[in-house]
Amino acid sequence: MSAIYDELLSALSPQARDLAPDLSGLTANQPGYLDKISPTRTLSISLTDHGCEQNCAHCNGHYLKGMQMLSKLQTDALNEYDAVLISGGSSRNGSVPVAAHIDTILALPENLQLNLHPGYQPVEPLLPLKKRKPVVSFDLPGSDAVIRNIFKLPYRTEDYRKLFISYAKHFDTIAHICIGINGGKNSGEESTLDFLAEQSVKQAVFIIFRPTPGTELASAQPPELKRVCEVFRYARNRMKSQLLLGCMRPAATYRRDVDILAWLYGIRKIVQPHHELISILERHNIAINEYKNCCALNF
C-alpha cells in the first residue's frame, strides 16, 4: 500500500499532508476499496415546498430550493427513480410535517425506497410508515449551544439523544453529524460519537459545515482540516461502525483534501468523491463500487 499512500499524500495540499495518518494507519483500515455514491436515482421531495419557519443559522431554507416541491410533483416523474428523500422545511418547534402527509407517502409506488428526514418530533405519529420500512436520517447535534444558537430550538442534547433511541427502536435510523456546524468551530462532535458508540450503532454519516449565502453564517469559515481529521481519528478509534462522508461539505481544494484524508482514515463510503481520489485509486486497481441512491440507503 506504500505506493498508493505516497500518491495520495502528494495529491494533498502541503498544509494537509501532515494531517494524514501514517502508513500503518492506512494498512490497519483495510480492506482497500471505495463506495462511490452518486445519488442520481433518489428524488429529494420537500413537503413544504420552499418554506421553512425554523430558519437555522447554517441553512435558512436554502437547500429546499434544490428539492422537488410536493405541490408540483408529477407521479410519472417517479418512474425515473429508485428512492425518494422525504424532507422539507421545519416548523418553529423543529419538526418536518411528515405525519400530516402519511397517506401521500404511503401512496408512493411500492418499489421506491424511502428515506425520511423528520427533524425533531415524536416517533409515534410516524409509526404507520413502518410498513414501508423506511430509513430515517436523524441529525444529532453535539451540544446545547448548537441547538440553541444554530437550530434556534429550546431543547437539550439529551432530548435529541432520547429521541434518536426512540426512532432506532422502530426504524433503521442513521445518525448525521455535521462537523463544525457551530460556524466552523468545535461543535461537540466527540460527545456525539461517544453516545453513538454506547448505542453500538452500525453506521453513521459525517457532513461538514459549509458557509452558505443568505444565512447568518455566510461569512464564517469551514472547520479547519486539522479539526476534521481529529473527528475522523476519534471516530475510527471509538467506533466499530461503518462511516460515510455525505453530500454536504465545502468545495474545491478543501473537498479534494477532505475526501483523500477521509479515505486515508478508513472512510470507504463517500458521496460524489473528488475526481483526484478516484483517479489515484483506479491507477492502483483499488475496487470502486458505484451506488446511485441517497447515502443513508447504501449501508
> Tens place of pLDDT for every residue, the chain, 299 residues?
789 999 999 999 999 999 999 988 676 656 689 999 999 999 999 999 888 877 787 886 777 888 999 889 988 889 999 999 999 999 999 999 999 999 999 999 999 999 999 999 999 999 999 999 999 999 999 999 999 999 999 999 999 999 999 999 999 999 999 999 999 999 999 999 999 999 999 999 999 999 989 898 999 999 999 999 999 999 999 998 999 999 999 999 999 999 999 999 999 999 999 999 999 999 999 999 999 999 999 76
State pTM to two decimals. 0.94
Residue span of the structural domain in which 279 resides: 2-297
Per-residue model confidence (pLDDT) at position 269: 96
Q: How many domains does the chain have?
A: 1
Per-residue model confidence (pLDDT) at position 63: 79
Per-residue model confidence (pLDDT) at position 16: 98
Per-residue model confidence (pLDDT) at position 30: 60
Q: Which of 163, 171, 162, 89 is nearest to 127 (CA)?
A: 171
Per-residue model confidence (pLDDT) at position 77: 87
Residue 81: what are its φ and ψ, rounded to 5°? -125, 155
Q: Give the integer Cα–Cα distance in Å for 116 and 61.
A: 17
Cβ atoms within 10 Å, residue 247: 15
CATH number at residue 209: 3.20.20.70
Per-residue model confidence (pLDDT) at position 55: 77
Q: Which of 277, 234, 280 is nearest to 258 (CA)?
A: 277
Per-residue model confidence (pLDDT) at position 64: 82
> Residue 140 in contact with residue 176, Cβ under 8 Å?
yes
